[in-house]
A = this chain, B = another copy of it.
Amino acid sequence: MTVRLRLDLAYDGTEFSGWAIQPGRRTVAGSLTEALGRVFGAGGARGLTVAGRTDAGVHATGQVCHIDVDPAAFERLGRAHGSAPPSSPADSLVRRLAGLLPPDVRVRAASVAPFGFDARFAALARRYEYRVTDADGGGDPLQRHRTLHWPRRLDLTALNAASAGLIGEHDFAAFCRRREHATTIRALTELSWRPVGPEVYAATVEADAFCWSMVRSLVGALLTVGDGRRPVDWPARLLTESRRVDDVAVAPAHGLTLVSVTYPPTGAEMSARDGATRKLRSTR
């Protein structure tokens, strides 16, 4: 018997080769697995599963993952030890991990997951933010690790007009790196730009799920509309394509941050969502 834990985490992707463990590379899952091994023993935290497998250089403020652990090992975390008073096992886990993880990845919250929770398959929506500045000087140096510097002036009205044409359920093949037997139909529920500072704009992009490189390809296409090099209706016209379009540049990773993942409010709805998602991914 195991207990499933939900972990909410944040990371600065700059020095990571993405989420997924790769031999010889520094990855978020690798660092997390190592820290969890210190808490639960090697192999004590099993089945690490993440909502959004971010690429190298991509950041997260609201990433979600789950692990399965031995209930007794989890409960023991809450016991008093040394000078620390007893506290909830979940709070203790957050504090233990804060001391074990490198400073560029943080577990912000831990909780016993509701019945039926699966960080990947129960997720209803993923929400990303992409930051870009068109400041001549290059923008705020304190934010340079997560903000793209665009060398041409951007028109917020054009960015939003072009974005509106992409919302809805479409085949986003033009914006996806090709994977065999994988559907590229996605429901894009939000895509809009707002000013977030002097000469800094942020795009909010939300969908049920994203195919590989989709957010950065959407942003890459939109930026060429924003700077006046492409007509406003160009990105939406690409929705008729059945495969990746070479004219669409993938925007650099460092402007992108996974900001939140949405789950159904109750366990029963969670299980229903999980079943529906697995079916959809296998048939479409």
Q: How many subunits of this chain does the assembly comprise?
A: 2
Report the minimal beta-carbon distance from A254 to chain B, rounded to whole angstroms.
Answer: 11
B residues less than 8 Å from A135 (CB atoms): 108
**Contact between chains at B137 and A257 (CB < 8 Å):** no
Which among B61, B98, B138, B140 is the interface contact of A138 at CB below 8 angstroms?
A: B98
Cα separation A12 to B12 with both chains bound (whole Å):
16
Q: Classify the interface of chain A: helix, strand, loop or mixed.
A: mixed
**Contact between chains at A109 and B137 (CB < 8 Å):** yes
**Contact between chains at B10 and A142 (CB < 8 Å):** yes
Contact with B along A106-142 (1 / 0, CB 8 A): 1111000000000000000000000000011111111
Cα separation A138 to B105 with both chains bound (whole Å):
9
> Does A103 count as interface, using CB distance less than 8 angstroms?
yes
B residues less than 8 Å from A97 (CB atoms): 137
Report the minimal beta-carbon distance from A134 to chain B, rounded to whole angstroms.
Answer: 12
**Contact between chains at B91 and A10 (CB < 8 Å):** no
Q: Would you mind naming 26 contact pairs between A and B with Cβ atoms under 8 Å apart?
A: A10-B140, A10-B141, A11-B141, A12-B141, A12-B142, A12-B144, A59-B142, A61-B142, A91-B136, A95-B136, A95-B137, A97-B137, A98-B136, A98-B137, A103-B141, A104-B141, A105-B141, A106-B138, A106-B139, A106-B140, A107-B137, A108-B137, A109-B137, A142-B145, A142-B146, A142-B257
